[in-house]
Amino acid sequence: MSASTYLAYDYPLLSVFWSMLWFFLWIMWFVLLFRVVVDIFRDDGLSGWAKAGWLVFTIVLPFLGVFVYVIARGKNMGRREVAQAREQQQAFDSYIRETAKGGGATSSADELAKLSEIRAKGDITDEEFARAKDLVLSGHGSGTSPGVAATSRR
């Protein structure tokens, strides 16, 4: 054992620090390894053979493979990750927009039926029903939920 290792075991707190440092480095190593493997599969610019080659290189010689990959292709790893995050955000936003539309425009008869159900439950007053009915019939209330008037009162 070297002198620094003896020093670490002479002082228990230094031994704990030494163990935590190695543990942290191993965790960081696995995080980097998994990020590289995910990036290999994420990259559409690589052919199947290139992906297989990088994957074999990182599995057979993990330390050397990961470090060479980070040096050779690490610059674009962040760009690919940001591009994927943007695509996911756009897909999520479009899903929210489509869901908010309710699968299509509702007719004024459907909205009036919903309004009358809400009034029958007692969630809105007759005055609120009349205002919402006027909005629906004038075309300004189309696409809005009749429940908005009920929740605004509470």
Kindly report the length of the chain.
Answer: 154
Residue labelled with tokens 């040096």: 71
pLDDT tens profile 6-19: 665 666 777 788 88
Structure pTM?
Answer: 0.52
Q: What per-residue confidence (pLDDT) applies to 4? A: 62
- In whole angstroms, give the CA distance from residue 3 to residue 88: 52
Secondary structure string (H, E, C) spanning the chain: CCHHHHHHHHCHHHHHHHHHHHHHHHHHHHHHHHHHHHHHHHCCCCCHHHHHHHHHHHHHCHHHHHHHHHHHHHHHHHHHHHHHHHHHHHHHHHHHHHHHHCCCCCCHHHHHHHHHHHHHHCCCCHHHHHHHHHHHHHCCCCCCCCHHHHHHHC
Q: What per-residue confidence (pLDDT) applies to 115? A: 87
Q: What per-residue confidence (pLDDT) applies to 9? A: 64
Q: What per-residue confidence (pLDDT) applies to 150? A: 44
Q: Are 14 and 8 in contact (CB under 8 A)?
A: yes
pLDDT below 70 — which residues of the chain?
1-11, 102-106, 140-154
Q: What per-residue confidence (pLDDT) applies to 37? A: 92
